[in-house]
Amino acid sequence: MSVAFLDPGNLEGDLQAGAIAGYSLLWLLMWSTFMGLLIQLLSLRLGVATGRHLAEICREEYPNWARILLWLMAEVALIGADIQEVIGSAIAIKILSQGVIPLWGGVLITASDCFIFLFLENYGVRKLEAFFTVLISTMALSFAWMFAETRPSSKELIIGLLLPRLSSKTIQTAVGVVGCVITPHNVFLYSALVQSRKIDPKKKDKVQEALNYYSIESYIAVFVRSLSI
């Protein structure tokens, strides 16, 4: 779940927002992050409490026309969301390689990542989680180091968080910030990922324990992601 909050599209969108709008969109980032966290917590609670993910529940609870409409909406939204993920990764690879790898090469590398992660999953979910933990920890340390090196103005940070500001020049960037945080695939993803651990919905103590751990993971992911801007 942490990876869903720390994907390349999110990071690239936040970095662009910081470069274009400075501190003026911090308030929007904060509130959209809170909203995204709330949706994430509701989604994982649904998965833990029912033992089913959101797509299964939609299939069982809605009529055929509503299911088809939801499916089409999800597909269109996923295509729009994945474009920024792929482009964000390609831009990062081009920058890190100092232009040696072009954008189209970065796109191919990013596409191959999907098959690599599917291959790693064959060795077990725990090993895949350990691999992601290393990646997330590296990102957290990198952002913390960058934050300390840049030494942002405390005054500007507080003003940016507490004073809502939006101009015609930053409105497109603002839409991108919200879109990076609240993405449709994450809503389905969270409710499905919690199924990797078998929890008896009838045992309230086990359900509450699982919810506590999943919530802590979500809070950590949101905190690390917030450092990117």
Q: What is the domain partition of the chain in residue ranges?
A: 2-59+124-226
Residue 71 has pLDDT above 80, yes or no: yes
The Cα 221–Cα 40 span in angstroms is 11
Percent of the chain with pLDDT over 70: 89
The Cα 220–Cα 226 span in angstroms is 10
Mean pLDDT of the chain: 79
pLDDT at position 8, please?
64
The Cα 148–Cα 144 span in angstroms is 6
Whether 61 and 208 have beta carbons less than 8 Å apart is answered as no
User: Considering the entire predicted model, what is its pTM?
Assistant: 0.69
The Cα 221–Cα 35 span in angstroms is 14
The Cα 112–Cα 115 span in angstroms is 5
Going from the C-alpha of 39 to that of each of 4, 43, 132, 166, 190, the distances in angstroms are 13, 6, 22, 25, 9
Percent of the chain with pLDDT over 90: 1
Whether 43 and 54 have beta carbons less than 8 Å apart is answered as yes
pLDDT in tens, 81-125: 777 778 878 888 888 888 889 988 888 888 887 787 777 777 776
pLDDT in tens, 152-200: 778 888 888 888 888 888 888 888 778 777 777 777 877 777 777 777 6
3-state secondary structure of 169: coil
pLDDT in tens, 24-48: 888 888 888 788 788 888 888 888 8
pLDDT at position 201, please?
67
